[in-house]
Amino acid sequence: MKIEGCTAIVTGGNRGIGLGFVEELLDHGAARVYVGARKLADAEDVAKTDPSRIVPVELDVTRPEQVAAAAQKARDVTLVVNNAGAFEMQRLYGTDDPDAARREMEVNYFGVLSMSRAFAPVIAANGGGGIINVLSAGGIVAVPDMGGYSPSKFAARAASDCLRAELAPLGVGVTALIVGSVDTRMAAHVKVKKSQPRDIGKAGLWAIANAVAEHDTDPHSIAVRAHLARDPYGLAKSMADRMAPKT
C-alpha cells in the first residue's frame, strides 16, 4: 500500500513504538493519523504536535464498545497499526498474580483480533490497505521468564497468518512485525543495546508498503531469527536456562 496520503489509526500511539509509528507516518505524508490511547488526555497531548493531522481517540483495545466507537469515528482509515501491548512481568507458574497472563492475552491477542475485525471492513470500503501487528522476538521462540507475554505474542503471530489469508480477498494486507529490544518504558529493565521506536515505525511502514508478510525490524530480532534457523533447540535451551537460579 501507499503510505503517503493514507489515513491510519495507531493503538497505544501516545508513547514508545506507537508514538514512533505516528511520527514516521506524519513524516511519510499520511493525511491523517488517529492516535488511540487508554486515556484521552494522553492522545490529546500527541495531537498538539500536529493538530491538523492528528485526531485523538480514547481507545482501550480490551473494551469492545471503545473499539466499535473508534471504527465508527475513523471511517476513512486505510491502515491499522496494532501496537498496544501488555507485559505484566509475571511467570506462568511462579506468579503471585494468576490473572496476569489473562490480561496479556486480552491485549496482545484478543485486542489485535478485535481491532482487525472492526477495521477490516472499513479498510475494504476505502479501497483496501493494510494492518500492521507489532509482535515480538518472544513470539518466535518461547521465553519462559516473560510469562504470559511470550505465549500471547505466539498467538498474535498465528492470528496474523490466519487474518492475512482471510482478508486478502478484501484487499487488506497483514504484516507481522518481529521486534527485539527497543528503548521503551516496557523494556526499561532490559540491559542490552536497544533500537529507537522510530526505527520500528520506519521498518513497519516499509514492510506494509512492500507487502511483506513478516519482517524482523531490528538487530536483536534479526539475531534471534538467525539463531532459531541455525540451532532451534539450542536457542530454546538458552531461553530456559535464563530461569535457572543465579549462583
Q: Which residues of 207-243 are buried (b: 16+ CB within 10 A; e: fewer)?
A: bbbeeeebbbbbebbeebbeeeeeeeeebeeebeeee
State residue 189's pLDDT score.
Answer: 62
| Phi-psi region at 127: left, alpha or beta (left = phi > 0; alpha = psi -120 to 50) | left
State residue 183's pLDDT score.
Answer: 79
State residue 245's pLDDT score.
Answer: 67
Please tell me the pTM assigned to this model.
0.94
Q: pLDDT tens across 165-207, in order?
A: 999 999 999 999 999 989 776 655 666 677 899 999 999 999 9
C-alpha cell at 121: 471492513
Beta-strand ranges (E) seen in 74-113 are 79-82
* pLDDT tens by residue, the chain, 247 residues: 999 999 999 999 999 999 999 999 999 999 999 999 999 999 999 999 999 999 999 999 999 999 999 999 999 999 999 999 999 999 999 999 999 999 999 999 999 999 999 999 999 999 999 999 999 999 999 999 999 999 999 999 999 999 999 999 999 999 999 999 897 766 556 666 778 999 999 999 999 999 999 999 999 999 999 999 999 999 999 999 988 765 4
State residue 184's pLDDT score.
Answer: 72
Please name the residue ranges forming H helices in the chain: 16-27, 40-47, 64-73, 100-105, 111-125, 149-167, 197-209, 219-230, 232-241
Q: What angle do CA 133, 137, 140 make, to 5 degrees?
A: 90
State residue 192's pLDDT score.
Answer: 66
Residue 177 pairs in a beta bridge with 134, 215
State residue 247's pLDDT score.
Answer: 47
- Do residues 75 and 124 lie in contact, with contact meaning Cβ atoms separated by under 8 Å? no
State residue 141's pLDDT score.
Answer: 95
